[in-house]
Structure 1
Amino acid sequence: MCGMNGPSELEYVSAYLNRQDVMSSIHINGKKSQWKDFTESVQNAFQAFNSKPSIDILPDLLEQIPILIYHGEYDLVCNHWAAENMLDNMTWNGESGFDLGNGKVAPIYAWIVDGESAGYIRYARNLTYILFYNAGHMVPYDQARRSQAMLHQFIQLNLTYPNNQIGTNRKSNYAISIVFTVIVSIIVVIGAIWLFILKQQSTTYSPFKIINDEFVTFEDDVLV
């Protein structure tokens, strides 16, 4: 899990991609080369020895687009302490680190996925940081479901949390969903009767979202 060893399943991938029929179908000459999960020559070809460090590149990007940075707590290859130290000392969009100005610092929220503590999440000025619990260097491999939740949450919803409301638990969320379902059902029935009478179609659906500010939760592919 620490990241020093790759996923054990790669041996099956290697065996498959090195089959003669597979190599032939993708036009690879098996006599000259075979598939490997890591090749140093390829890495060196893509490595830019004189590239700028991330701390110099991220501030300009954060002025234009939102950025998500995540780490696994057990990652020894890219440890989260170094990343957090970099963010604390980086200046972007007018402030340093997670300083919000006026003596305020961006709070750290518990990140809940499927009712379980998945890590913690922090946001400031276009940058979101998530630390995954029980994950190493290969976060999507160690925590596939939670990685999907993170991606869906980031690309579909705004990850700012302007209020500091007390979060509801799963039972209260379930009760809210039941009430909402009943209300929607009544509205649909009334709408159907009305449409039948007037013989016209005019139905509009709007997304229903609950944003919980003390606990950031994700269940069934919907942020609740």
Structure 2
Amino acid sequence: MTSRGRAPPGEQGRRGAEMVRAALSPLWLLLLLLPWAPPGQAAPEADEIQCLPGLAKQPAFRQYSGYLRGSGSKHLHYWFVESQKDPKSSPVVLWLNGGPGCSSLDGFLTEHGPFLVQPDGATLEYNPYSWNLIANVLYLESPAGVGFSYSDDKSYATNDTEVAQSNFEALKDFFCLFPEYKDNELFLTGESYAGIYIPTLAVLVMQDPSMNLQGLAVGNGLSSYEQNDNSLVYFAYYHGLLGNRLWSSLQTHCCSQNKCNFYDNTDPECVTNLQEVSRIVSNSGLNIYNLYAPCAGGVPGHLRYEKDAVTLSFCLCPQALLRSGERVRMDPPCTNTTAASTYLNNPYVRKALHIPEQLPHWDMCNLLVNIQYRRLYQSMQTQYLKLLTTQKYRILLYNGDVDMACNFMGDEWFVDSLNQKMEVQRRPWLVDYGESGEQIAGFVKEFSHIAFLTIKGAGHMVPTDKPQAALTMFSRFLNKQPY
């Protein structure tokens, strides 16, 4: 007889096996299901935004906010929104704003994110022209020190090469956290000083076969200091800003044999004339980001500036021409960042975005990062030629045509200088505006694997000024359709 309550040895073995099978069966079931799990299942649950303040209704798509590992001890804040169309098949699009030192959440909250911050700094409204209608969009605050991004060693002095490497490390970390997207098409996009960030990053990404890089797009970007500086003076004159006396003096002292050098001319009279151009373009009360838009807050008086300081203007591309000024702005000129700043510094918003409590106040642009930043490149020609030589990637440079910070002529000259095979001569491109029918949205010319496109009536922040045209352009770019 067996002792009371104990099963015989055979029965014990059978029951033990059943218990093991019962314990393992959920695990085996999970392992079997993992390859077919829908997008988002492998995403970091701790980073998912459960309830975002300011929305009347939470979105149907998933969104995440957290940190990606950059180089060294850098932690780069990201905000990732899944596509409203089909996350599994939609491309992954990285977005970077410029500066250097300005936050990509500007692009999220005021340009092409799924919701736009309202003037009260508390409310978000859904954006009918959001880029995540057709793509999974990753907004990355870079470099460390910008926005909610930080470094453990609190060292924020950096340069173009270090930023490219750190962004590359962060992108690799993103695909570790979101492995379900590693095979999706990848596009790198940005604006302004991202004209440096994006091609330098792309050269690194193109060497990593684990990433499915398909192309890059840069809006109103810095591609060449020389071409931006030289073209800006022409832009200013032919838009009626300079007057004939100043223009005649510029021609006399800055030009020779029908060729003008407004970039690094050392002639004393030329330098004096360029200082006057700089004053008119950047310090007279004109909106450098959109010539035909008002200057937020009105024409600034001398109390709005710090005098006799290091020359700095956030996001201004013509640095060489405009370095002759003497004033410093903490925020981009003629812009109002109050709403975004108020929203992102709301403690409930910061908690929803998983921002560490000890991090300082969020600002649109970080003055310290900008001042300490070392600009290593005068032109992106080498980087673009490396990308074009592969004949693998679709490249778009687009410009709002009333921006003076990074004007359209400078980028058009830059694309021309790459000497690629012309495929489509410069022509209008159209957008269907419904009741008003098709309208000319700008002009485009296409070369082998690269195109240059303008958006009529838009300034530096194209999706803010012309959201429908921007989304149409973006869709055609991603889908490899004629513009």
TM-score range (shorter-chain normalised) is 0.5 to 0.7
Q: Relative to structure 2, which stretch is displaced further, 135-144 or 35-44? A: 35-44
Equivalent position SS for 1:82 = helix
- Equivalent in 387, 395, 417 of residue 61 of structure 1: 387
Give the Å deviation of 1:54: 1.1
Match of 1:132 in 2: 455
User: Cα RMSD over matched residues?
Assistant: 2.5
Give the Å deviation of 1:50: 2.1
Give the Å deviation of 1:72: 0.8
Give the Å deviation of 1:35: 0.6
Equivalent position SS for 1:35 = coil
Task: Within 5 Å, give how 1:127-206 maps onto structure 2.
Answer: 127-159=450-482
- Check whether the contact 1:70–1:132 (CA below 8 A) recurs between aligned residues: yes
Q: How many angstroms apart in 1 are the aligned matches of 2:414 and 2:382?
A: 11
- TM-score calculated relative to the size of structure 2: 0.28
CA, structure 1 residues 111+128, in 2 after alignment: closer, same or farther (shift >3 Å)?
A: same
Structure 2: runs of 5+ lacking an equivalent: 1-286, 290-331, 433-437
Give the Å deviation of 1:38: 0.8
Greater Cα radius of gyration, structure 1 or 2: 2
- Check whether the contact 2:288–2:334 (CA below 8 A) recurs between aligned residues: no
Equivalent position SS for 1:130 = strand
Structure 1: runs of 5+ lacking an equivalent: 101-105, 160-215, 217-224
Deviations 1:29-78 (A, max 9, x none): 36x61010111233467x55224621221112122311011001111111
Match of 1:91 in 2: 419
Equivalent position SS for 1:107 = strand
Q: How many angstroms apart in 1 are the aligned matches of 2:333 and 2:443?
A: 25
Match of 2:343 in 1: 16
The number of residues matched between the two structures is 147
Give the Å deviation of 1:107: 1.2
Deviations 1:156-189 (A, max 9, x none): 1343xxxxxxxxxxxxxxxxxxxxxxxxxxxxxx
Give the Å deviation of 1:6: 6.2
Give the Å deviation of 1:155: 1.1
- Equivalent in 434, 439, 446 of residue 116 of structure 1: 439
- TM-score calculated relative to the size of structure 1: 0.57
Match of 2:365 in 1: 38
Is it true that 1:74 corresponds to 2:405 in the alignment?
no
Equivalent position SS for 1:134 = coil
Q: How many angstroms apart in 2 are the aligned matches of 1:77 and 1:150?
A: 21
